Amino acid sequence: MITQTAPAGEAHFVITMAEHMNLCSQMARAFGNDQFERLDPYQEVLHLVENHDRGWDEYDANPGLDPETQLPYIISRTPTLDNMKTNRVSPEVNEAHHPYCGLLSSMHSWGLYNRRYGFSQFVVRARTTTSITVKNVYQPQVDALLADELARQSRLKAKLAKDPTTRSWIDEPHLFQNYKQLQFFDTLSLYFHLYHASERGDETYIHVPLSAEADCNVTVKKVNERVYSLDPFPFANDRLQLVCRGRYAKPFPIDFDQSRVGAVLKSLPADMQTYELMAA
């Protein structure tokens, strides 16, 4: 669940991770031009982008309320045990679809605790680093989770290596090209999801892959509250219209029954925000 900032007294735009993944997939489908290679293998990577946070479905059906805001927790403040569960289930769901989807999903889960492999400088709101912060009391459980994901990655790589069709997909430069594409879509979506338009500023995305061998930095600048320029522009054509669905909610009462949060959110009118990306 993601809760966007809002001006004082105004309702907050609340976005499920399914809605977040939908925005990521809009970017993924449009990614690629004369400078930037498109997704490859297209169907498998697109499926992964559309489902990389699928482990959040159960949690988002009835999210917890952050006592500091009385709004649904943002991803960076979700209780550790709930967060761990989502990061375990997502690779399980993706592996069930295809081993390559499971491999990239596992890398995404592992990377969230490990600076996204060093390929991102985007810091999620309420954090001070690019990694998920873990309290000492939970570190042994997180270490076990991460060890399991490394074991999953080794197992899936071995499986993919046996198939002539998928063997080249796990060549490290190609594999990390796909991983870095996912991180770009994920963090660029979060740029819009986490912050009200009045709070968005310039942001530079590092290690955006041009190809398996070459990366570049992409700088985002706000033109106005709906239009944003990217330099260089990694999408087809010169403009990309994006639609993010969600609901507007105000803080819940202090004594609100938390078992009803999901039902109340679902009952709110569906709404949307639109963003236009253009070449600088």
Q: Each residue of 156-168: pLDDT tens digit? A: 999 999 999 999 9
pLDDT score at 51: 98
Asked if residues 247 and 14 have their Cβ atoms less than 8 Å apart, the reply is yes
Tens digit of each residue's pLDDT (9 = 90 or more) over 170-229:
999 999 999 999 999 999 999 999 999 999 999 999 999 999 999 999 999 999 999 999
Tell me the C-alpha to C-alpha distance, in Å, between residue 144 and each of 3, 127, 140, 147, 151.
29, 23, 6, 5, 11
Residues 11 and 247: their CA atoms lie apart, in Å, by: 9
What range does the domain containing 134 cover?
A: 2-279
H/E element holding 7? none
Q: Is the pLDDT of residue 279 over 90?
A: yes
Closest CA to 191 of 23, 9, 11, 10: 23
pLDDT score at 151: 98
Query: What's the pLDDT band for 86 if we cut at 50, 70, 90?
Result: very high
Query: What's the pLDDT band for 46 if we cut at 50, 70, 90?
Result: very high
> Sign of the CA dihedral 260, 263, 269, 270?
positive
How many domains does the structure of the chain reveal? 1
Residues 231 and 279: their CA atoms lie apart, in Å, by: 6
pLDDT score at 128: 86
Q: How wide is the angle at C-alpha 87 spanned by C-alphas 85 and 93, nearest 5°?
A: 95
Question: What is the mean pLDDT of the segment spanning 107-130?
Answer: 95
3-state secondary structure of 229: strand
DSSP string, 20-36: HHHHHHHHHHHB--SSS
DSSP string, 74-110: PGGGS-HHHHHHHHHHHHHHHHHH-HHHHHHHHHHHH
Q: How wide is the angle at C-alpha 177 spanned by C-alphas 173 and 178, nearest 5°?
A: 125
With a pLDDT cut of 70, the percent of the chain lying above it is 100
User: Which is more confidently placed, 206 or 126?
Assistant: 206
